[in-house]
Chain A
Amino acid sequence: MKVDPGALEKRIQMLLDDKQYQGHPLREALAQLWRLNEEQWARVERITQLSDSYQAMMMRREHSLSARFDKQLRQLEKITRISDRYQRMLRDMNLALEEASFLDPLTDLPNRRMLMRRLEDEVENSNKSQHGFAVTMLDVDYFKQVNDSYGHQVGDEVLMRLGQMMQQQVDELGICGRWGGEEFLLLVANQDDTRCLQLFDQLQRHISGASIDIAGISLSVTVSLGVSFFRPGEPLDAVLNRADNALYEAKQTGRNRMLRA
């Protein structure tokens, strides 16, 4: 049988209030039982309330923790993004520095450091393949006079133009770079000696025949070349020294010429 708690409460209250049951032992027992029942209910209610508020507190805490977590996550993502950009910036700067450290700023040709690298590589290749390569030292004749007569700016421009001429002549057969001052180095690999000599000879004639026009001034320069061929097995210095000596010889014997060591 289903009990209607409201109706039951009303009925018990009525029975307890009824004067005719006063002093009856069952009435006393019922009154005690009823009080106990009410106390129990109050307790259950209090426990429920406590538990609810505890749960609410935990939910709030969880909420604020997750908000904090989200915020930190966003911050972390931002730090990572900015840090990545700084690293990219550093990397690009490194590349620019590396490029600068291998190029001659005036002529944009490989500088001495880069030439040394290529020469060392070529020595290694030659020792493996047992084929030599040609090294030429090229020096501009009476370059000091160009500077003295026309000024350093014109002198610099002359070096740039000469660099372009050499670059065009050597093209893909090898590399040329600025060895220092008005001295250039040309390296030609994988060509037979005759072809190399022909190439350097052409270059020397081409330069002495060229008219260099700079800011209304037309001038021409000649160059001296010392050519040497690397012999597999020998140190790099040996071929460089021979080329240097040949250049010296070319200078001593009248300039505007190519000499083979």
Chain B
Amino acid sequence: MSDLTIPGSQSTPSIHASWNDGVLAMQGDSYPENSFEMFGQVITWVEQYLTDTDRPLRLELELLYLNTSSIKAMMDIFDLLEDAHGRGRDVVTRWYYDEDNERVAELAEEFKEDCTFPFEIVGR
């Protein structure tokens, strides 16, 4: 399997998934025309990575605004991580936010709520 790179735009986050490093990074706003198409690729990558390797997976997020279907997609990704974590896999999420915008941290907290794997919300 290879890396996944989707350049960002005004309405889509920039996405980079590195197979060798075991890192999935996403930055920016997310309100794409077709969330399922865009996140579908990301979800497939995560599934494949979790199936084909037994190495750790780290999510590095710096997401600001998410529309409803993007929220759904992120929850699906976290579900995959939660399942993997339940099977003893080393998974971790770091969600960075700008300390000038505390509300992003509060939203990240909402996502974190049902996750039992390490989920850090880091201000900077």
Contact = CB atoms under 8 A, between A and B. Distances in A.
Contacts of B75: 75, 78-79
Given A83-B68, A86-B65, A90-B65, A78 B110 contact: yes
Contacts of B107: 82, 85-86, 89
B119 to A, nearest CB: 15
Interface residues of A, number: 10
B61 interface: no
B65 A82 contact: no
A89 B102 CA distance: 11
B72 A86 contact: no
A85 B65 contact: no
B66 A79 contact: no
Contacts of A75: 72, 75
Contacts of B111: 82
A85 B72 contact: no
B71 A82 contact: yes
A85 B106 CA distance: 9
Interface in A58-96: 75, 78-79, 81-83, 85-86, 89-90
A79 B110 contact: no
20 contacts: A75-B72, A75-B75, A78-B75, A78-B110, A78-B113, A79-B68, A79-B72, A81-B110, A82-B71, A82-B107, A82-B110, A83-B68, A83-B71, A85-B103, A85-B106, A85-B110, A86-B66, A86-B67, A86-B107, A89-B107
Contacts of A81: 110
Grouping DSSP codes into helix (H, G, I), strand (E, B) and loop, the A interface class, with mixed when no group exceeds half, is helix
B78 to A, nearest CB: 11
A232 to B, nearest CB: 47
Interface string B98-116: 0000010011001101100
Contacts of A79: 68, 71-72, 75
A147 B107 CA distance: 46
A85 B66 CA distance: 10
A24 to B, nearest CB: 73
A89 to B, nearest CB: 5
A85 B111 CA distance: 12
Contacts of A82: 66, 71, 107, 110-111
Nearest to B76: A75
B12 to A, nearest CB: 16
Interface string B52-84: 000000000000011110011001000000000
A239 B2 CA distance: 70
A83 B110 CA distance: 11
A85 B110 CA distance: 10
Interface in A77-123: 78-79, 81-83, 85-86, 89-90
A154 B63 CA distance: 41
Given A83-B71, A86-B71, A90-B65, 6 more contacts: A79-B68, A82-B111, A83-B67, A83-B68, A86-B65, A86-B67
